Chain A
Amino acid sequence: MNIGYSTGSIAKGDFNLAIEILSSHDITAIELSALRENEIRTLITSLNQLNLSRYQYVSFHAPSKLELIEENELIDILQSVPEAWPIIVHPDIISNYKEWEVFSSQLCIENMDKRKPCGRTVRDLQFIFNQLPEATFCLDVAHARQVDPTMSQCYQMLKVFPERLVQIHLSDVTSDSNHVPLNMQAMDAYKRIIGNIPNNIPVILESPLFPGPHQQERIAKEIELARDLFYERAAFAQ
């Protein structure tokens, strides 16, 4: 299976540094993050120069807030992302669904945390997918757990949208909605649903581990935890 990391969780606003840090780790997937809108233009113009040949799976995370650029401007910019890369989008930045249809299945909607007004549950997502019938799905298990700690919503998401699922976001999220590294409590909750995630779905870690003491060791440990978690998924199948 493909396990990888989001560049935004390794070096905020510096994708080149993140790619360099990740180059020494045993991963086969990467998500190029432009979560903050001031990062997107630089990232887009650099795409051709990035050496991503070692990765079997690449995705692109669009900004999570639009304050400096307009929605239609963002859509124009995102059209430079290679077609093979899913574009991960937070549904609360979408106001004009029609405009986003241009991306077809490349548009990958992520489920949201409890702060967001939409995209948190199966019902919310169903509404979005009705507007964007071709769109695919990125399941953020930490968001799903924060919204429903019993994991029943997460389970239902996997049951209702299996055809749309293209990627998993993995980390933990605190009650004030900050992403944090994996821990036993979060992993125990994820074990309840990972049996329902097909083996070919890439897992992108979003555990924030920024440059500092022991960063490389901590990244390696986080990847190992993710690998261990998914390795025995058959045992958790329902």
Chain B
Amino acid sequence: MNIFQESSKVEEFLRDKQLQLPAFEQCSENTQRLRNRLLKFYQNDPFSPDADFVVFGSIARNESVGDSDVDWTLLIDGQANPAHANYANEIRRKIDEGPFKKPGTAGTFGNTTISHDLVHYIGGELDTNKNITRRMLLLLESERINFRQNESEDGNAYDRVIKLILQQYFDHDSGLTRKHKETIPRFLLNDMIRFWRTMCVDFAYKQKEQQGQKWGLRNIKLRMSRKLIFVKGLLMCFSQYKKDHIREDFIDSMGNKVAMHPFELFIDLKEHFEIDDDDIVKLLKSYNVFLADMNNNDTRKKLEEMDMEQVDSDNSFKTLRDNCDDFKGTLDSIFLKKSSKLKDLTLKYGFF
């Protein structure tokens, strides 16, 4: 079973390292089952090319566990049409009635998303928490549920909106458009960093609002899966380091990376960035431990029920936290300690 799409590079890497990742495989199977259930919503594609059923989070990362949420939206890019609301209601009903865990109550998912806000409000007062979350997740962990299985994935609302967002990050990045020197897409990188810090700040906000409930689960997810998508954002931006950027090539290259799992991107770029294979193996092993814990109903339930006051005295949480520390240690080593092109870029663009 391919755990990261159908990347031959990844398969080759895992074979070469004789690496077994049972939790990844289990989650991949869970995701495929979930995906198949979603595909049964409609026998034929009900949507015009102006709308797409898009999922985020663990499904898009191919990492669903037993009771993963279905974070979804009906993405609209086209003429206003009352039928869009009907479709969104229908999907919500199907999710409610099916064996699915509903999305959270914040309203970020589980309804329609209009492309205009995603494309036009990058920064400024109208770029709400919800808007930046939807926009960044589209780039970092999203998947279109393709009800036309035999047809191309390109040229639909999902594809168009991603390209338009990337175009905005190109057109309004003076470093890229003026073509003076070697650089990266700083506008996009800054938004990636902003999104990561927004997730971190929201973690503290929810801690206050929900009085520490579910603190354990949120903490571990923030330190593993949320951090991993930030890492994907960094790799995407740093991969564009060069002179004489061409807008269309940028959109094409970044668009192709949107569909890649963060580890797929790591393996794809390891030679380019001079990343040690051993460090990637360490990351994969830590992440496999995380997925195994998330996929274990007892552990997950315990984590969900664990509030902030309880974690320090709990041995199982300590084990999970140690794994998070290992994961962070390896990322520190890759991005900040060992000499490499990636370290140079991180130091040059990641902070000041």
Contact = CB atoms under 8 A, between A and B. Distances in A.
Contact of B252 (A147, A152, A175, A176): A152
B49 A114 contact: yes
Instruction: Name, among B50, B148, B166, B252, the residue most crowded by chain A CB atoms within 10 Å (CB to CB).
Output: B252
Given A152-B247, A175-B79, A192-B247, A120 B155 contact: yes
A217 B79 CA distance: 31
A232 interface: no
Interface in B122-164: 148, 151-152, 154-156, 159-160, 163-164
B151 A149 contact: no
Contacts of B252: 152, 156
B98 interface: no
Interface residues of A, number: 22
Q: Give chain B's interface residue range (CB within 8 Å of chain A).
A: 20 to 34
A215 B156 CA distance: 35
Nearest to A155: B248
B308 to A, nearest CB: 45
A199 interface: no
B347 interface: no
Contacts of A149: 160, 163-164, 167
Contacts of A148: 155, 159-160, 163
Given A114-B49, A115-B49, A175-B78, A147 B160 contact: yes
Contacts of A153: 154-155, 163
B163 A117 contact: no
Nearest to A124: B152
B166 A150 contact: yes
Contact of A238 (B156, B166, B246): B246
Interface in B43-64: 48-50
A124 B148 CA distance: 14
Interface in A144-169: 147-153, 155-156
A151 B152 contact: no
A152 to B, nearest CB: 4
Contact of B154 (A121, A150, A155, A176): A121
Interface in B248-276: 248-249, 251-252, 255
A236 B15 CA distance: 48
B155 A175 contact: no
A150 B79 contact: no
Contacts of B151: 117-118
Contacts of A65: none
Nearest to A121: B154
Contact of B156 (A114, A118, A152): A114
A221 interface: no
B248 A118 contact: no
Nearest to A111: B155
B257 to A, nearest CB: 14
Interface string A81-119: 000000000000000000000000000000000110110
A161 B22 CA distance: 43
A123 B164 CA distance: 19
Given A148-B159, A150-B247, A118 B152 contact: yes
Instruction: Name, among A148, A152, A175, the residue most crowded by chain B CB atoms within 10 Å (CB to CB).
Output: A152
B251 A150 contact: yes
Contacts of B50: 114, 175
Given A115-B49, A150-B163, A120 B152 contact: yes
A114 B160 CA distance: 10
A88 to B, nearest CB: 20
Interface string A128-156: 00000000000000000001111111011
A153 B248 CA distance: 8
Contact of B152 (A123, A156, A192, A238): A123
Nearest to B254: A152
Contacts of B246: 238
Interface in A19-36: none
A123 B155 CA distance: 10
B166 to A, nearest CB: 7
A9 to B, nearest CB: 23
A150 B248 contact: yes
B152 A150 contact: no
Contact of A124 (B48, B155, B248, B251): B155
Nearest to B148: A117
A37 B146 CA distance: 32
Instruction: Name, among A124, A153, A192, the residue most crowded by chain B CB atoms within 10 Å (CB to CB).
Output: A153
A40 to B, nearest CB: 28
Interface of B: 48-50, 78-79, 148, 151-152, 154-156, 159-160, 163-164, 166-167, 246-249, 251-252, 255
6 contacts: A115-B48, A118-B152, A147-B155, A152-B249, A175-B78, A175-B79
Given A118-B152, A120-B155, 18 more contacts: A114-B49, A114-B156, A117-B152, A120-B154, A121-B152, A123-B152, A124-B155, A148-B155, A148-B160, A149-B167, A150-B163, A150-B167, A150-B247, A151-B248, A152-B252, A153-B154, A153-B155, A175-B78
Q: What 5 A-B pairs are tightest by C-beta distance, nearest first?
A: A155-B248, A120-B155, A121-B154, A114-B49, A152-B248
